[in-house]
Amino acid sequence: MAQICTETGCLNMEETILISYLNDFIFCPVSIYFHKLYGNLDRTLYQDSYQKEGTNAHKAIDSNTYSTSKNFLQGIEVYSEKYNIIGKIDIFDVKKGILTERKNKISNVYDGFVFQLYAQYYALMEMGFDVKKIRLYSMMDNKIYDVKLPTKDKEMKAEFEKLLDDMRNFDVQGFKQPNIEKCKKCIYEPSCDRSLIC
């Protein structure tokens, strides 16, 4: 059974995976442990400005104030039985079949962003919705980034499935973060025993 453990506890990675953890795992697998550890604390105690901006970007979704139209599903929880992943979508236009994941500012379309959309896509499809298009929306500069459906990009779909497999088989004991830049950008770095920053 794959677990992420530190001195204060363990996280079983064979449990249902949260969609938000896909991007986090790519950034640094150990960050998921800290998400769980800090889960019930006030986020303002440990988030930096980048994370606070990201949280603010989802306020309209979380409060269901993005749109009053019944054509839009916003902030609903979704689950894929096939992949055993769960999370929330940002916006799904039921009439047009467009799934949108909003980010505060997109400077790069990272694989983790795409995989979050894939997870939401599969969950919505299993729930009986017809998802025709998936995209990312950068709020700060009002840009839309269309993403190929996983059925149209076999290479990325294979990477998505590999990521889920890697998460379920992850062994923290042998993990060493190879990228000091990730440590420099990590809000959990001061608490992490794997940090490359001395």
150-145-125-161 Cα dihedral, nearest 10 degrees: 40
pLDDT at 1: 42
Question: CA–CA separation, 21 vs 53, rounded Å?
Answer: 18
Q: Is residue 196 part of a domain?
A: no
Q: Is residue 58 part of a domain?
A: yes
pLDDT one-digit tens code per residue, 7-35: 445 545 457 999 999 999 999 888 888 77
DSSP H helices, the chain, are 20-27, 30-38, 49-57, 59-62, 111-126, 154-168, 180-185
Give the residue numbers spanning the domain of 123: 3-191
Domain total of the chain? 1
Q: Is residue 46 part of a domain?
A: yes
pLDDT one-digit tens code per residue, 81-116: 999 999 999 999 999 999 999 999 999 999 999 999
Q: Is residue 129 part of a domain?
A: yes
CATH of the domain at 175: 3.90.320.10
Q: Is residue 197 part of a domain?
A: no
pLDDT one-digit tens code per residue, 138-160: 999 999 999 999 999 999 999 99
Residue 96: how many other CB atoms lie within 10 Å:
12
Q: Is residue 93 part of a domain?
A: yes
For residue 155, the cross-strand partners are none
Q: Is residue 85 part of a domain?
A: yes
pTM for this predicted structure: 0.78
Q: Is residue 198 part of a domain?
A: no
